[in-house]
Amino acid sequence: MLSRYFPVLRWGRAYSPSLFADDALAAIIVTIMLIPQSLAYAMIAGLPPQVGLYASMTPLIAYAVFGTSNTLAVGPVAVVSLMTASAVGRITESGGPDYIVAAAALALITGIILLALGLMRLGFLANFLSHPIIAGFITASGVLIAASQLKHVLGVPAHGETLVAILQSLASHIAQTNLITLIIGAGSILFLFLTRSYLQKLLRKAGLGEKLASAIAKAGPLLAVIGATLIVAALHLDAKGVAIVGDIPSGLPPLTAPAFDTDLWRQLTGAAFLIAIIGYVESVSVAQTLAAKRRERIDLDQELIGLGTSNIAAGMSGGFPVTGGFARSVVNFDAGARTPAAGAFTAVGIALAALFLTPLLYYLPQATLAATIIVAVLSLINLRVIRETWVYSKSDFTAMAITIAGVFFFGVEVGVVAGVALSILLLLYRASRPHCAIVGQMPGTEHFRNISRHDVITSPIAVSLRIDGNLFFANARILEDKLLGLATDSPAVKHVVLMCSAINEIDASALESLEAINERLKDAGVVFHLSEVKGPVMDRLKRTHFLDHLTGRVFLSQYDAMHSLDPETFFLPNGAPSP
């Protein structure tokens, strides 16, 4: 029981030196990747760089205790950082002390929401957003983030929450471009692209082992950061207008809860909900993909608790909202992480960096950080999915297009709200239309099939509808419409039979609809019957008065029903009675 809520108790007992060696190696590689990323994502969120480091320590430890994925790398990620900027930026100006407090409060609220959902075992909420809507949202956010970072590459002031506003702002400042900044930024982008695409192959050719070559290639962003920092420091380019990171306070974050401020919390709660949804869906998708590769499983409810405690930890140690990131988790997996302890070791690595490396980052140019972001988020942009969705389903494509347009023209929050609203609409639309078929007898057999697909025998006085799915409130009204329509559309009909062979559950709403259908058909002079009701469904119906009020009968088989109601139309050629 205890180990359900503290998965660390399960895997921790069997922890061994060999597991430690694997986890530690993975942690070193992830740490190298995470140092520049954490600074960069803090920049996206409009926060000072050390906040990125703070968000990469305690949350990882919390996840190691409460999470169920062996390879998920929790920490700041691009999309959630963008959402943080949008939410906190609405309340107070970027960069100030209020802004930092609000970002930590946002993480705390997000964590409380996730934890509460987890304790209520609402992990199935991960099904909430349709994949094309998520893909559209993430692609659009990637474009928005890349655009928002261009100002650092050009060295100009620019701002805006929407793609249109950002591009307009950039265009109006383009004349002020700082050439040296642009050279550093563009050079960094080029370097990062080249290392990502060719460095590993080059190193292999030069005779390095596969693991080492891959690890060095992963260090591309770190190499860019070191190189650019050295160049700026050596040539004192900061005096020539190149924006640098500057002083980063060294040391570990204080462990304190952000002061509770009713007004602030009320303003942030909506945004925290959206971050919780998006963060959870993104994280679970990655965790499931990686777990399946090793025939492992993650627990959807416990993942809510894991991410919830991570965000609470972020909020209580001066960080900002975190979740499981795609790229880092894949690296963690490839590097051989075998338990959640790898995350805890990464936290130690980041703590060492925060204690001892921050002075070395003084001359790090912001243009290079922006370059690492731009190259990283371009991998979020997935045009293939957009094209394939267009080919496969126009309605899914429409939902995706509206979400993308929402992000581009109205910002990330409107985009995700539009996505959620569309998902609910789509869900309701799909759920409200179970497949159903009017059925007739296949000549010479006891089988009843869809009249629109088979050449079957039908009767003018007895008609039958088969519903392929459970009956519940979302489709109860369609059920009424279809069954009453059978009677309304052909005045000769005397019997309506609902074939229940595919119905495994009838909720209270659908039961009420069946009662209403029975009453209304009675008023119209039509008898209502059921056939092939499954055992468990029948047991529940017997607990109600429905069967007492039913004007017709409950037949064991569809053939029985139709043969009894209209023996002149439905019979077997040999005249044999139904078995």
Question: CB of 425: closest distance to a copy of itself in angstroms?
Answer: 8
Q: How far is the CB of 286 from a copy of itself (least distance, A)?
A: 12
Residue 131 or 211 with smaller CB distance to a copy of itself: 131
Q: Minimum distance from CB of 405 to a copy of itself (Å)? A: 17
Nearest approach, Cβ of residue 334 and a copy of itself (Å): 13
**Cα atoms in the 13 Å half-sphere on the side-chain side of 65:** 11
Q: Are 298 and 69 in contact (CB under 8 A)?
A: yes
Take residue 302 and report the two structure tokens written for it: 């416990």
Q: How far apart are the first and last CA of the chain?
A: 51
CA-based diameter of the chain, in Å?
Answer: 102
Q: How far is the CB of 72 from a copy of itself (least distance, A)?
A: 16
Q: How far is the CB of 239 from a copy of itself (least distance, A)?
A: 50
Query: Least distance (Å) from a copy of itself to the CB of residue 542?
Result: 11
List all residues 6 or more positions away from 261 whose beta carbon is below 8 Å from its beta carbon.
Answer: 105
- Integer Cα distance of 421 and 83 in angstroms: 18
CB of 442 to a copy of itself, least distance (A): 16
Give the sheet arrangement for strand 448-450, strand by strand. Answer: 448-450, 435-441, 462-468, 495-499, 527-531, 554-555
Q: Closest distance between a copy of itself and the C-beta of residue 515, in Å? A: 10
Alpha helices in 294-411 (DSSP H): 300-316, 326-334, 341-356, 366-378, 383-392, 394-410
**Which is it for the CA torsion 196, 198, 201, 206, positive or negative?**
negative
Residue 121 vs 211, nearer CB to a copy of itself: 121
Nearer to a copy of itself, 241 or 491 (CB): 491
Backbone angles phi, psi at 575, to 5 degrees: 70, 5
Give the residue with the Cβ less far from a copy of itself, 19 or 385. 385
> Closer to a copy of itself at the Cβ: 96 or 491?
491
Which CB sits closer to a copy of itself, 4 or 201?
4
Whichever of 219 and 503 has its CB closer to a copy of itself, that residue is 503
- For residues 254 and 86, what is the distance between their CA atoms, to the nearest angstrom? 25
Of 434, 431, 514, the residue nearest 480 (C-alpha): 514
Closer CB to a copy of itself, residue 250 or residue 470?
470
User: Residue 72: how many CB atoms within 10 A of its CB?
Assistant: 32
Contact, 208 vs 216, CB < 8 A? yes
12 φ, ψ (degrees, to nearest 5): -65, -35
Q: CB-wise, 247 or 505, nearer to a copy of itself?
A: 505
